Amino acid sequence: MVEVEWSDGGVSSFPYVWLRDNCQCPQCFKPDSCSRLVLMSDLDVNVSPVRAESQARGGLLWVEWSDGHQSHYDWQWLKERCFSPHAMSERERAWQRKTQLWGAEITHDLPKADFPVLLTDDRALYDFLVILDSVGLVLVQNVPCDVGQVERLANRVAFLKQTSGFGKEFAVVNKSKPGSDMAYTSAKLGLHTDLNYYNYKPGVQMLHCIEQTKGEGGDNSLVDGFNAAHQLKEENPDAFRLLTTLKVAFRHVGVDYQKYIHKQRQNIIRLNDQDEIQSISYSDPTRASILDMPADQVQPFYDALKAFNTTMHLPGNCVRLKMAAGEMMVFDNTRVLHGRSAYSPDSGTRHLQGGYMDWDDVYSRMRVLEMELGIEG
């Protein structure tokens, strides 16, 4: 390894192979594509330098390799890539989501954003996305009451994710021919996340109220699924273990935007490789009837599902919100469960517009905004 002693203290070690692989010269790296040009086929992974020295002029580490190739590295660039445990744990912190759990207490203090401001003010857009990431729910207000506003917001952030059931921006109304999705009726929808039968289910969901029913019902329930899962882990570790380990299939077959046959297996509560709760996939209507588990696991599995369902429905966990025309809920579909109470199809029209985005594109937009606005990420 090349050892670097910093003038302000500390020593960093940079393995030879890593230095050679990350040579920043124009033959090895193309800055405008942000791409490495060194191919693994051509890389000698046992490479070693014949000389390495600090070049005062230009402030560079200069390395000459046994094949005659020469590399130089900017000190600041190297420092940002330091392999020390301290530097690694700092970088690890930056990868962590800054999740804020919530329950019903958030009802009277819902994070809000103003639609016209989001469309014109980059800082407001950034702040909105930060809250969407940490809280998982924002109520956007002053949205014009016509079709196309979901797509306008999506295009300001990134773009809409198309799905075979819903297309791009879709109307959630009580249809005389509801097609294949329960959302297109006036029936109650239990707490759920959408599109669990996708491998990459959309991360962000928007529901924009254009017209609310004039009668009873039609209000939404929202639950922080991460919070409910944490409670389940505390109170019923066996149930938590089952829901984090058993694979459950979701399937949906029908004709809406397109003819589709979707199926996918998920853990109801998915953990990441550090055993942190990563996503929730829950929907009673589309949970498949084929259960790929031994028969003696079935009763414990149902007990676990019931326990999770009971936890999410605790009054302390449930936010109830009857959107008014001109409001739009934007929420994290990998975390927040949503439901709808039944309404009467005879009490006037209820019309929501829906759409989805992917978190990767939302995060990318946040990073671009950070750069443009000079915000420390």
Alpha helices by DSSP H, listed for 26-175, are 75-79, 85-95, 115-120, 122-134, 149-157
Q: Which does 172 bind (CB under 5 to 8 A by kind): ligand OGA, Zn ion, none?
A: ligand OGA
| Cα distance between residue 143 and residue 346, in whole Å | 26
| Cα distance between residue 204 and residue 257, in whole Å | 20
Sign of CA dihedral 346, 347, 349, 354: negative
User: Tokens representing 224?
Assistant: 């922080």
Q: Are 318 and 221 in contact (CB under 8 A)?
A: yes
Among residue numbers 268 through 327, which ones bind ligand OGA (CB under 6 A)? none
- Does 23 interact with Zn ion (rule: CB under 5 A)? yes
Minimal distance, residue 313 CB to ligand OGA, in Å:
16
Among residue numbers 89 through 148, which ones bind Zn ion (CB under 5 A)? none
Q: Which does 352 bind (CB under 5 to 8 A by kind): Zn ion, ligand OGA, none?
A: ligand OGA
Minimal distance, residue 341 CB to Zn ion, in Å:
13
Cross-strand pairs, 319: 222
- Does 220 interact with ligand OGA (rule: CB under 6 A)? yes
Helix, strand, coil percent values for the chain (each to nearest 5): 30, 30, 40
Closest CB to ligand OGA among 140 and 183? 183
- Does 332 interact with ligand OGA (rule: CB under 6 A)? no
User: Tokens representing 87?
Assistant: 């530097």
Q: Which does 327 bind (CB under 5 to 8 A by kind): ligand OGA, Zn ion, none?
A: none
- Does 189 interact with ligand OGA (rule: CB under 6 A)? yes
Among residue numbers 170 through 229, which ones bind Zn ion (CB under 5 A)? 194
Phi, psi of 227 (to 5 degrees): -65, -45
Q: What is the size of the binding site for Zn ion (CB under 5 A)?
A: 5
The residue ranges that bind Zn ion (CB under 5 A) are: 23, 25, 27-28, 194
The residue ranges that bind ligand OGA (CB under 6 A) are: 172, 183, 189, 194, 220, 338, 340, 352, 354
